[in-house]
Copies of this chain bind each other. A is one copy, B any other.
Amino acid sequence: MNSWGNIFRLTIWGESHGAEVGVSIDGVPAGIVLSEEDFVADLDRRRAGSAGTTTRKESDQPHIVSGLYNGYTTGSPLTITFRNENTRSGDYSNLVRQPRPSHADWVAQKKWNGFNDPRGGGHFSGRITLGMVAAGVVAKKILGDAVRFSTEITEIGGERNKDKFAAVIESARMDQNSVGGVVECRVDGVEAGLGEPFFDSAESLMAHLLFSVPAVKGVEFGDGFESARIRGSQNNDPIIDMQGRTATNHAGGIVGGITNSNEIVVRAAVKPTASISREQQTLNIESGAVEPLIIKGRHDVCITLRAAVVVEAAVAIALADLKLRR
């Protein structure tokens, strides 16, 4: 399903090398001041350009084609589209025959009997996250200024010292390889009470969106996997005031699936980019044999760099949907 949400519902579409990618957002309250300018900062965070990112550059110009009038949202669906411009379809022609390891090529062929659009990963391209980033901008407007996001990369290739991130990436690039990383999103100022038992816990909704983002393979809240390794007395957060603040925040701002007014802390593990330049082995579906594969085209060495804002968008979207349900 390419739709998500209960009240704040987004629908996305597009392929890497098709005419456009887009998102239509339903349930946006009327009267929010909005312009195409508002999307620039987050779209820039997602764009290629820095070291470790692909050299394919798109203008990523958002077009608001519905739901806005006189600079305010109208209450009807807010639709934002992006034209695909800088496409080089020729780069990908051999990938139908030889599906890339750990990429969606083979499952897409299998699932849609070969009718999937294979160019640049088609609908599985990271380019589809443009719509999620745009929806995240709107979500943050709904949450309001009192809710502050702080998103950063805490690990790249196992390295936690930020000063060394550039070197880790450069080393992988020189090696015609790629590296993964971990993104941490912290959200301050979230009111208590967001999250619906049983199935729509705040954690469930965030994780649902985060695992929709290509390359995310793990999600944890608060101490996450580390909390599984300690005792209750170490993990419990004593409540210390009537606002629900806790002395510690091992829970990452969510207990029983419901926000408790403390800072929300969520981390997503991003795997290394599947497309690497060095030679790999994989099946040739014509010959039926495993053969060498060289992936051409332009790819990110460390997709984590561009994924950070997408993680933030996912968290914001989940919180906005929960807020509007109240």
**A→B interface (CB under 8 Å):** 1-4, 6-7, 9, 11-15, 18-22, 24, 26-27, 30-31, 63-67, 69, 72-79, 81, 99, 101-104, 106-108, 110-113, 115-117, 119, 122-124, 128, 155, 157-158, 172, 175, 177-182, 192-193, 195-201, 203-205, 207-212, 214, 216-225, 227-242, 244, 246-247, 250-252, 255-260, 269-276, 278, 280-283, 285, 288, 290, 304, 325
In the complex, A257 Cα to B215 Cα: how many Å?
9
Given contacts A19-B66, A66-B123, A232-B274, 4 further A-B contacts (CB under 8 A): A1-B27, A6-B7, A110-B192, A220-B225
Contact A15 B76 (CB under 8 A): yes
Measured in the bound complex, the distance between the Cα atoms of B112 and A224 in whole Å is 27
| With A199-B212, A290-B238 as contacts: A2 and B76 at CB distance below 8 Å | yes
Give the nearest-CB partner of A107 in chain B: B258
For A223, list chain B residues within 8 Å (CB). Answer: 217, 271
Residues of chain B contacted by A275 (CB below 8 angstroms): 232
B271 touches A228 (CB 8 A): yes
> Quick check: B75 and A4 within 8 Å, CB to CB?
no
- Contact between B217 and A228, CB atoms less than 8 A apart: yes
Closest 9 CB pairs of A and B: A104-B256, A218-B220, A30-B112, A178-B232, A158-B229, A76-B123, A75-B112, A30-B115, A218-B224
Q: How close is A208's CB to chain B, nearest CB, in angstroms?
A: 4
Chain B contacts of A222 at CB under 8 A? 217
**What are 18 A-B contacts with C-beta separation under 8 Å?**
A2-B26, A14-B77, A20-B65, A30-B116, A69-B117, A74-B117, A75-B123, A106-B239, A106-B255, A107-B195, A110-B192, A172-B231, A177-B233, A200-B212, A203-B217, A217-B225, A231-B272, A238-B283
